[in-house]
Amino acid sequence: MIQALQAVRGMNDILPDEAEAWEHFEDIVRDWLRSYGYRPIRMPIVEPTPLFKRAIGEVTDIVEKEMYSFEDALNGEQLTLRPEGTASCVRAAIQHKMLSAGAQRLYYHGPMFRHERPQKGRYRQFHQIGVEALGFDGPDIDAEHILMCARLWDDLGLEDVKLELNSLGSPDERARHRAELVAYLEGHRERLDDDGKRRLHTNPLRILDTKNPELQDLVDNAPRLLDFLGEDSLKHFNGVQVLLKDAGVSYRINHRLVRGLDYYNRTVFEWVTTRLGAQGTVCAGGRYDSLVEQLGGRPAPAAGFAMGIERLLALWREGGGEAEPAQPDVYVVNLGEQAQRLAFRAAEALRGHGFAVLTHCGGGSFKSQMKKADASGAPIAVVIGDDEAATGEVGLKPLRGPGGQQRVALDGLANAVAECLFTENEEEDGSL
């Protein structure tokens, strides 16, 4: 036997039971995004490699070791499977001069790719819903993003998702903090692990993010960025917090929250849960005021966030969330050549009236077809044999409620199905 091939490690198939939950979730998310006035944008999955190097930063885990990059064999161009959506979204906005029409509220969703070590909640192909607001400079949009998230957790019935907040200030403020931080860490150089020593002069801020338990007191006592913020940055940060307090959204200021992508400034935030094990960040984002200019556009402030769909769905399930399995309204059983032709006409006629119809394909006895009708979850079977085909009528059989099979003419079928469904629903609701 030929050996079957497997999916790439860390890249998962989403099978129908699960994919239905995804669609349910995506429906909720789409309504939620519209209710805040965000509009969809779709970008390519492959982008020129320099886009991510410039946007995310050369000295970041993503760019240093996690990107799926390759050379286009036909023209030698360096390409990368997108590891995130912000860079692509900003690239698209610049390329299509979207900001000349004014500020933009945008969202996207789809697969992202990072060559990380796969584990529960961490995959090499994962999916994000990303939200970007381009051309807004006030703390109001930062607060809007955070309030949006809080509302979505509510809509989804998610509990135990906590907000962590920080401000990274401006590049100047960060530079001053960096100098003090490096001096402090230099003073404790012998305690740093290999990663810390490596980052000391390339990306010292990231050392604050270390998970190494032996370094926790060292980083806890390190100089805090917040103490280096100037008046404008503090005012901005306070502005965000006032709006969060007004809305009753609680948060913790986490001085060590620095984010793993270089484009951020001022407000950064993460929504974290302890319910998912090590990969507990379900959503993260912040302000990135220099990125548009850095990617070749006219300077424009911006802010956004992205959430991991796999992690959110895992949390939703953990709290008992379940999507109703998709069921047809009608299963069409048919036996014989003429019956099959009538079955196709009947099914199309019903679909034309908006019903979901599963037509039995592949033959088999009436008995085996009726079993399949039952297993499909459809409340009604339309049954067509040679007798029915000869008269142009079909049999209508309720599968859940009482009542026997009745004969119905094709042109009265949609009404009869509607009536039958109505009766069954009333019974289920207990109103009959």
Which residue's CB atom is positioned nearest to ligand HAM?
A: 308
Q: Is 305 in the site for ligand HAM (CB under 6 A)?
A: yes
Choice between 10 and 401, CB closer to ligand HAM: 10
Among 282, 314, 342, 381, binds ligand HAM (CB under 6 A): 282
Q: Which is nearer to ligand HAM, 259 or 360 (CB)?
A: 259
106 vs 389, which CB is nearer to ligand HAM? 106
Which residue from 26, 116, 164, 209 is in contact with ligand HAM, where contact means CB under 6 A? 116
Residue 132 near ligand HAM by CB under 6 A: yes
Binding of ligand HAM by 281 (CB under 6 A): yes
Instruction: Tell which one of 308, 328, 379, 398 touches ligand HAM (CB under 6 A).
Output: 308
Contact range with ligand HAM by CB under 6 A, out of 39-47, 220-228, 276-284, 358-366: 276-284
Q: Which tokens go with 312?
A: 């959110």
Cα–Cα distance, 81 to 68 (Å, whole number): 6
Of the candidate spans 16-24, 222-230, 306-314, 355-363, the one that interacts with ligand HAM by CB under 6 A turns out to be 306-314
Q: Which residue, 309 or 417, has its beta carbon nearer to ligand HAM? A: 309
73-92 positions binding ligand HAM, by CB under 6 A: 84-86
Which of 92, 141, 192, 307 binds ligand HAM (CB under 6 A)? It is 307
d(Cα 372, Cα 131) in Å, to the nearest integer? 43
Please report how close the Cβ of residue 299 comes to ligand HAM at its closest, in angstroms: 17
Residue 14 or residue 182: which is nearer to ligand HAM going by CB? 14
Question: What letter represents residue 171's amino acid?
Answer: P
Find the helix or strand (DSSP H, E) in which 408 lies.
Answer: strand 406-409
Q: Cα–Cα distance between 424 and 383 in angstroms, integer?
A: 18
- Could you tell me if 209 and 260 are in contact, meaning their C-beta atoms sit under 8 angstroms apart? yes
Count CA within 13 A, CB hemisphere, residue 19: 5
What is the four-CA torsion angle of 149, 153, 159, 165, rounded to 10 degrees? Answer: 0
Q: E strands along 187-344, which residues?
A: 252-253, 265-272, 281-287, 302-308, 330-334
With contacts defined by CB under 6 A, name the span among 12-20, 175-183, 298-306, 320-328 that binds ligand HAM: 298-306
Helix, coil or strand: residue 222: coil
Of residues 177, 199, 311, 397, which one binds ligand HAM by CB under 6 A? 311
C-beta of residue 373 within 8 angstroms of C-beta of residue 331: yes
- The DSSP code sequence of 6-67 is -PPTT-----HHHHHHHHHHHHHHHHHHHHTT-EE----SEEEHHHHHHHH-TTSHIIIII-
Q: Per rule CB under 6 A, is residue 285 in the interface with ligand HAM?
A: yes
CB of 77 to ligand HAM, least distance (A): 23
Rounded Cα gap, residues 201 and 182, in angstroms: 7
> How many residues of this chain bind ligand HAM (CB under 6 A)?
26
Point out which residues bind ligand HAM (CB under 6 A). 84-86, 114, 116, 122-123, 126, 128, 130, 132, 261, 281-286, 288, 304-308, 310-311
